[in-house]
Structure 1
Amino acid sequence: MEKIIYKAESRGHANHGWLDTHHTFSFASYYNPDRIHFGALRVLNDDKITSGTGFPKHPHDNMEIISIPLNGDLAHEDSMGTQSTIKQGDVQVMSAGTGVTHSEFNPNNDIGTEFLQIWVFPNKKNVEPRYGQVSYPMEERKNNFQMVVSPNVEEVDTWIQQDAWFHLADFEEGFEKKYEMKKKGNGLFLFLLEGEVEIEDEKLKKRDGIGLINLEEVTIKANADAEMLLMEVPLEW
């Protein structure tokens, strides 16, 4: 099994005042030729938006975009006519396909918004743009892998145009569980949101990441109460 470690402090960082953001992969002014993407996983941004501000309307095409709020609310408007607000426990997906414009902003006046902005390369281009949003019960990820993104509409409503599966998990200290890969040839990227975990003899702390290649299964153990996002993605597509 091949391992690639992404320490939290090694990420790209930019503070624009209204936006404080960390980039696991090359994005905007941050460029690292060794960190362009992990397979189909192209962007993993850890964003904080101050109250009453946000991203103005901007375009996307041929990208699967997933937003996962960690704290606060994120209001969304797009050219498909969607007007919605997502909050902790929600997962939002948008297939940009042939092209879509959207805006995202913090609608609150008193608290900041923290969310993950994730981009995945699609396996089919120029599809009709599509929006999806689901509120997932947070208690169902307690010592469990809660599926929140899938290529199959039969599994979750937040499906994407790629053979990728995302799971959120909250492990209690000392708990361990085996993750089994869904598709041969995929890689697994674990991003630790909180706490400490041990995986393949590597100890990860808050906001660390690890990419795993050539595996069928892997055991994850929480050395402290831990919250994590697992992203299984194709390495080739």
Structure 2
Amino acid sequence: MTPPVARKRGRRPAGARSLLSPAEVRELFSRLAEVDPAPTTELEYTNAFELLVAVVLSAQATDVGVNKATRRLYPVANTPQAILALGEEGLKRYISTIGLFNAKAKNVIALCRILVDEHDGQVPRTREALEALPGVGRKTANVVLNTVFGEGTIAVDTHIFRVANRTGLALGKDVRAVEDGLMRVVPDEFLLGAHHWLILHGRYVCKARKPDCPHCVIRDLCRFRDKTTAG
């Protein structure tokens, strides 16, 4: 089981409502944790900067596609200074297989400049500083804070949004409502891993077009009405 994570002090956000009882929520995450005791991102990285860049590149792209690009890029340049030395055009040659690579190259160069000029080349540890970087929004900041710095944050992507609404774990019309709802209902001891468990469950089991309900470990807890059957 993932160790408990201290929440930031203050009232828990109201967020989206949940159809599951606290006992059902705990059971849901207990089962996901049993299947995958040490969940993590599928993006490949060796340090905070590599993960930050990978997450920026992953917008509207697959982790598989990003990993293919960064396997070529990082042996050549895996620091802000090294990527700045490549320049925007040089960076594009490594990431041209990724969607929106022109805009992403511009953002990565700009964020590298800020990291060098304002943060001594280091990835900052605060949400405010992260979200001030070009190409970094709340979701990207949440991934970095969770995966690198061990904070109990949840980055709601399309997978988490779908799983939270389908299961009834956190009903919400937008990603922020779902994020706040999850932060309200997820037990402390599962908070660090919740982001990864829900993404992986959505990616491989609770898929968009045809969820694999017969092989779902939480199917009896799930409130999704149109469960699929075997065959």
* TM-score range relative to shorter protein: under 0.3
Higher relative contact order (CA 8 A, sep 6+): 2
Structure with more helix by fraction: 2
Normalised by the size of structure 2, how large is the TM-score?
0.25
When normalised by structure 1's length, the TM-score is 0.24
Pick the structure with greater CA Rg.
2
